[in-house]
Amino acid sequence: MQASRARLFKEYKEVQREKTADPDIQLACDDSNIFKWTALIKGPSETPYEGGVFQLAFAVPEQYPLQPPQVRFLTKIFHPNVHFKTGEICLDILKNAWSPAWTLQSVCRAIIALMAHPEPDSPLNCDSGNLLRSGDIRGFQSMAKMYTRLAAMPKKG
Amino acid sequence: MSKRVLCKFFAHGACLKGEHCEFSHDWKDPPHNICTYYQKGLCAYGSRCRYEHVKAARSHSSASSSSTNARQSLVSDIVPLGNSTRSVFGGLTPVPGSPMELSASSRPFIPPTKPAWNQEYGHHDSLDDWDIGEASSIRPSDRPICSFAAAGNCPRGEKCPHLHGDLCPTCGKHCLHPFRPEEREEHLKSCEKKQKHLEALKHSQEIECSVCLERVLSKPTAAERKFGLLSECDHPFCISCIRNWRSSSPTSGMDVNSALRACPICRKLSYFVIPSVIWYSSKEEKQEIVDSYKAKLKSIDCKHFDFGNGNCPFGSSCFYKHKVKPGSYTWRHHRPPPRRPPPRRSGFVDDLFDMFNSIEELTASETALDPMEELTSLEMALLLRDLILDTSDSSSDEEDFYSP
């Protein structure tokens, strides 16, 4: 408990110090609970998510960093490894490949990488996975782009 | 106020009690300079004692001359003088008004503006001569070296009556005894080692653990201020962090070997963790740490093996000493006893060689199923249960076992 708090506090300070270090990630801690974090990540360029800003919610367990944080998308996203309804993410480093050397910041980076490189063979969103697996890249991209525009971009006008 | 004794803190220039001190703050009062240990019969400092070694209780009448007292107070903490000096020197009992006393009292009184040891030492040539005179009568190797010089700086410099040691090139102090070659050698060796350790410690100071993100050597408790070295890679962690990680229960499908036993950074598999207070800067240094750690463990009796009465899961690969006591199970049967079910504990750990574990189980099961074995059906049942338990939970409490 104490260890996780100390570690999160360290990460918090690091985030405050290097706010501008990674322009694609904005991490923020809940004002009253250091175990709750939110992040805003920019969709990687040259992907259908480009131009979108996606919100992530982190729930950090008390055993952190021995156990991975639970991360989910708050912004709707059409991606084979993200559950369309709950925002749950299927990513090995958040499950069995977790390592205590990962930080919340690096988890964000991993999620950005996942957005750029979907894994259609272990889908949480079957529709999206099937489009990719059947080779319908165009179909997948237009669906993903549409949802990015609908959910992850500021409404114009 | 003749009964009052000069405050020794005052004489040094710093008495915190000031006005309320029960000792005199008047330079004219005599200092209490008699060694109480000598009075009781034994003073460990012997001739080096800064206090007077006189047998009889000091009579105040002998210290009636005020100028003598003042002089004594100035130098009392450096050179044993006054009564004792003379009694040793000439075998005389102190007589007020003796020639020496007269010569001493003829010197002008210097107000103690500086600490006594910074006063002119020229005054005490006769006493210093005595010091040397006594010292030269014994062998040079028996003479102690000046402790001021050995500690770094002797305020008396060239004029010091004591033997000044030679300069140690490592620590920069004059602490090498010129006539004791063994002591010199020893000092040089230990000094070099210390220096090396200090330097390594300095390098280690900045190193951060990748799990808690803190500097390992800035942790609050001494037990935490240790590195946990992984045998197969060079990534630094706190011993507590890496052990916690390796012993954390593999929930949510984490694989023991690919996740927990691996380095959190490079995922290289290491079978054991080596505690160390310093971080290494070269392969050789690491090897040295590992070797000394293993050597230390090898001197400790394995508690699993229990002098031949227990079954150590690590068998011949165990880091601990396997000493077979005559009369033990292994001694009588030439093989370890069958394994008992491990005590159920939360947070089971098997830090090292899981790999060996399975090999050991294999051999254990072979011996257990040996038809020559005299096993009751109950023992057999227990054994089988063990085997099932072991395969489902291949851990032991090796981790605690490793804590020094």
For each of the domains in chain A, give its residue range(s) and CATH number, in order of start: 1-152 (3.10.110.10)
Q: How far is B351 from chain A (nearest CA, A)?
A: 15
Of the CA atoms within 13 Å of residue A122, those in its CB half-sphere come to 7
CB contact burial A57-79 (16+ within 10 A = b; e otherwise): bbebeebbbbbbbebbbebebbb
**Per-residue pLDDT, B251:** 60
Q: Give yes or no for residue A18 having a pLDDT over 90.
A: no
Nearest CA distance, A2 vs chain B (angstrom) = 11
Mark yes or no for CB contact B213/A96 under 8 Å.
Answer: no
CB contact at 8 A, B245 and B220: no
Among chain B residues, CA nearest to A97: B259
pLDDT score, position B384: 62
Distance CA B70, CA B67 (A): 5
Range scoring the smallest mean pLDDT among A96-110, B7-21, B199-213, B344-358: B344-358
Q: Is the pLDDT of residue A148 over 90?
A: yes
Q: Which of B211, B212, B213 would you mutate first to test chain A, the one with the most A CBs within 10 A?
A: B213
Q: What is the DSSP letter of B22?
A: S
Task: Inform me whether the C-beta atom of residue B255 falls under 8 Å from chain A C-beta atoms.
Answer: yes
Residue range A90-113, pLDDT digits in tens:
998 898 888 889 999 999 999 999
- Mean pLDDT over residues A13-42, rounded? 87
Closest CA relative to residue A124, chosen from A113, A132, A135:
A132
DSSP single-letter state for residue B321: B
Alpha carbons A150 and A56: distance in angstroms, whole number: 17
Q: Looking at beta carbons, which residues of chain B come within 8 Å of A94?
A: none
Asked if A116 reaches chain B (Cβ–Cβ under 8 Å), the answer is no
- Which H/E stretch holds residue B230? strand B227-230
- Over residues B46-82, the pLDDT tens digits come to 888 878 777 755 444 444 444 444 444 444 444 444 4
Contacts of B156 (CB under 8 A, 6+ apart): B121, B148
Give Cβ neighbours of residue B242 (< 8 Å, ≥ 6 apart). Answer: B209, B211, B228, B230, B264, B273
Least confident window among B186-190, B192-196, B209-213, B365-369: B365-369
Supply the pLDDT for residue B126: 44
**Residue B83 scores a pLDDT above 60:** no
Contacts with B277 (C-beta within 8 Å, 6 or more apart), sequence order:
B201, B204, B225, B226, B227
> What pLDDT sits at residue B96?
46
B14 touches chain A (CB under 8 A): no
Long-range contacts of B391-394 (CB under 8 A, 24+ apart): B391/B361, B393/B348, B394/B256, B394/B350, B394/B354, B394/B357, B394/B358, B394/B361
C-alpha pair distances (Å), B159 with each of B146, B154, B190, B242: 12, 10, 30, 58
Average pLDDT over residues B17-29: 78
pLDDT: which is higher, B151 or A70: A70
Contact B213 A7 (CB under 8 A): yes
Q: Which two tokens stand for residue B232?
A: 């197969």
Residue B363: per-residue pLDDT: 47
Averaged over B349-362, what is the pLDDT? 48
Minimal CA–CA distance to B247: which of B396, B370, B131?
Answer: B396
Residue A22 has a pLDDT of: 80
Tokens of A52: 């979108």
Instruction: Examine the pLDDT at B116 and tell me if it is beyond 60.
Output: no
Q: A95 at the B interface (CB within 8 A)?
A: yes
| Tokens 């988890």 sit on residue | A107
Answer with the residue of higher pLDDT: B292 or B22: B292
What is the distance between the alpha carbons of residues B142 and A123, in angstroms, rounded to a whole number?
85
**What angle is formed at CA B188 by the lines to CA B49 and CA B285, rounded to 5 degrees?**
135
B92/B293: higher pLDDT: B293
Name the pairing type of β-strands A36-42 and A25-29: antiparallel
- Banded pLDDT at B143 (limits 50, 70, 90): confident
Give the residue with greater pLDDT, B216 vs B83. B216
Q: Using an 8 Å CB-CB cutoff, list chain B residues near A67.
A: 248, 251-252
Rounded to an integer, what is the distance from CA A112 to the centroid of its chain?
6
Q: What is the pLDDT at residue A60?
A: 94
* C-beta of residue A115 within 8 angstroms of C-beta of residue A81: no
* Residue B84 clears pLDDT 50, i.e. is over it: no
Contact A14 B213 (CB under 8 A): yes
For the question of residue A90 being annotated catalytic, the response is yes
**Active site residue: A29, A90, A108, A126, which one?**
A90
Using the Cβ of A7 and the Cβ atoms of chain B, whether some distance falls under 8 Å is answered with: yes
Q: How many CB pairs under 8 A join A and B?
A: 49
Is A7–B211 a contact, with Cβ atoms under 8 angstroms apart?
yes
Residue whose token pair is 């490592």: B170
For an interface test with B, give the residue of A1, A99, A105 to mutate (most B CBs within 10 A): A99
C-alpha distance from residue A47 to each of A126, A154, B89, B215 (Å): 19, 18, 99, 40
Question: Which chain B residues are within 8 Å of A9, Cβ to Cβ?
Answer: none
What are the two backbone dihedrals, phi and then psi, of residue A71, each rounded to the nearest 5 degrees? -120, 140
Reply yes or no on whether the pLDDT at B285 is more than 80: yes
- Is the Cβ of B244 closer than 8 Å to some Cβ of chain A? yes
B212:A6 CB<8 A? yes
Scanning every residue of chain B, which has its alpha carbon at the shortest distance from the alpha carbon of A68?
B252
**What's the pLDDT band for A49 if we cut at 50, 70, 90?**
very high
pLDDT of B2 > 70? The answer is no
State what percent of residues in chain A have pLDDT above 70.
97
CB atoms closer than 10 angstroms to residue B341 = 11
* A101 closest CB neighbour out of B251, B255, B264: B264
Pair of tokens at residue B28: 């004219």
- Secondary structure E strands in chain A: 25-29, 36-42, 53-59, 70-73
Q: What's the helix, strand, coil split of chain B in %, to 5?
A: 45, 5, 50
Question: Quick one: tokens of A115?
Answer: 């957005």
Q: Which of B291, B293, B314 is nearest to B302 (CA)?
A: B314
Question: What is the structure's pLDDT at B60?
Answer: 45
> Model confidence at B369, in pLDDT bands (50, 70, 90)?
very low
Alpha-carbon span B73 to B69, nearest angstrom = 6
CA-to-CA distance for B390 and B341, rounded, in angstroms?
9
Complex confidence, ipTM: 0.81
Residues of A in contact with B265 (CB under 8 A): 99, 101
Is B211's CB within 8 Å of A101's CB?
Answer: yes
User: What is the CA angle B17-B19-B21, rounded to 5?
Assistant: 50
